[in-house]
Chain A
Amino acid sequence: QKEVEQNSGPLSVPEGAIASLNCTYSDRGSQSFFWYRQYSGKSPELIMFIYSNGDKEDGRFTAQLNKASQYVSLLIRDSQPSDSATYLCAVNDFGNEKLTFGTGTRLTIIP
């Protein structure tokens, strides 16, 4: 059974600080990693995906992947109140169309 673990939070971060969200996964065969943001009462929306070890940056967001340690993280720089949401980590392995989701981390940015 593939597992994706996230700290459920809530994680509280002051406005303007860096928010760090972590995710670990059990299947060493996992190849693709996704971060989704979900506002309360809304559906998940894709923020970033990463396939290779290292960092991938997109605006204020940076995804970090370490396959040897089986973790993926999402950094949000200059956190804004609008970043307050639940962040879902999802993984899949090569040739598998299905994603395995973590239960999400609730992030609150404090003005």
Chain B
Amino acid sequence: DVKVTQSSRYLVKRTGEKVFLECVQDMDHENMFWYRQDPGLGLRLIYFSYDVKMKEKGDIPEGYSVSREKKERFSLILESASTNQTSMYLCASSARYNEQFFGPGTRLTVL
């Protein structure tokens, strides 16, 4: 079974803090994704990585950056957290041209 894990289920941070969200997958998948999910807006892609050190902006990259130094790990960084970044963050991975598998999600609250 594919396993995608995320570093925290719940996280509370203060405005202006630097926030790291980590995602690890154990299936040697090439692709990894970061989404945020908000009520009424659905899943929105923040960043996508198709290989180590490779990244591509999604639909809403502003205020975020990513890092992929190893194939199994994909990190999302909020350089200076703001209240409008309070959301559920979901990581996913996939093999080339295949379905995506999601991690359990991190519910981030920025105060």
Closest to A96 in B: B97
CB of A52, distance to nearest CB on chain B (Å):
15
Within 8 Å CB of A78, what residues of B?
Answer: none
Binds B, one of A9-17, A59-67, A101-109: A101-109
CB of B7, distance to nearest CB on chain A (Å):
14
* Contact-size category for B: 20 to 34
In the complex, which of the residues B40, B43, B101 contacts A101, with contact meaning CB atoms closer than 8 Å?
Answer: B43
- Does A34 interact with chain B (Cβ within 8 Å)? yes
- Does A58 interact with chain B (Cβ within 8 Å)? no
**A46–B58 CB distance below 8 A:** no
Q: How far is the CA of A42 from the CA of B6 in the complex (A)?
A: 13
User: A residues within 8 Å of B by Cβ?
Assistant: 32, 34, 36, 42-46, 49, 88, 95, 97-99, 101-104
